[in-house]
Amino acid sequence: MPRASSKRKSSAPQNPPAVKSSNARSGKAKAKEIENFFDKYANGGIIDSPDGIVTLCKDLELEYTDVRILMLAWYLKAVKLGYFTQDEWETGLKTLQVNNLSKLKKAISELEKEVRTPPNFADFYSFAFRYHLTEEKQKNIDIETICELLNLVLGPQFRRQVDLLIDYLKVQSNYKVINLDQWLGIFRFCNEISFPDLENYDETQAWPLILDNFVDWLRENHR
């Protein structure tokens, strides 16, 4: 009697050709939908201001200055203020699994929760500054724009600190612009310093001078 073969029958492939073909078609269809979604707002291969971005905001039922538009730019890894390239749009929306307006509306709501988590928010805060560097080799942002950004980005979490800091920035005359180190120092200040008593603020630590001046101003004017 012949021996039974010890070889096992090979199992069926996990993804039969028909399934792979179906997945490929589905992927191509979704990619085309994302491309068509982009074309609805694009002008010359880019979504730009004022027409494309403003129309997108209107369809999303958001103001152009809504922080969620800035959050979307962060998620898309947008490089230029007020512009979304086709690559940024398609890569970001593919990751979000979004291919139409209704899905994008829902995704933006969820995206806000994701951005508000501590690790993501720190990155978003840094991005907000870099995104507003609109000129080549620009390293600083004017005080007026910084006040608007602080209100938009940090205001919801640190309203009292931000309101007073904006008041200070508007009345002081030593600084016309803010750099990235100062911007990051403001975030650290809001997160670490007891407010409004400022008990743990130590001028000997590595704080930007503008924050030393802000603390002096607070102690003189808001005791």
Where residue 151 sits, what CATH number does that domain have?
Answer: 1.10.238.200
Q: pLDDT (tens digit, 9 = 90+) per residue, 166-207?
A: 999 999 999 999 999 999 999 999 999 999 999 999 999 999
pTM attached to this predicted model: 0.85
Q: What is the pLDDT of residue 5?
A: 44
Which CATH number characterizes residue 82's domain? Answer: 1.10.238.10
pLDDT of the residue at 16: 58
Name the residue range of residue 83's domain.
31-116
pLDDT digits (tens, 9 = 90+) for 93-132: 999 999 999 999 999 999 999 999 999 999 999 999 999 9
Rg from Cα positions in the chain = 25
Q: Specify if 20 maps to a domain.
A: no
- Does position 14 have pLDDT exceeding 80, yes or no? no
Cα–Cα distances in Å, from 102 out to 68, 86, 91, 97? 16, 19, 18, 12
CA dihedral angle for residue 57, residue 59, residue 63, residue 64, rounded to 10 degrees: 20
Question: How far is 201 from 190, CA to CA, in rounded Å?
Answer: 11
Give 137-158 pLDDT, tens digit per residue: 999 999 999 999 999 999 999 9
83 and 53 inside one domain = yes
User: N- to C-terminal Cα distance for the chain?
Assistant: 101
Task: With respect to residue 4, please indicate whether it lies within any of the assigned structural domains.
Answer: no
Is the model's pLDDT at 136 over the cut of 80?
A: yes
Per the structure, how many domains does the chain have?
2
pLDDT of res. 7: 46
Q: Are residues 132 and 179 in the same domain?
A: yes
DSSP at 99:
-
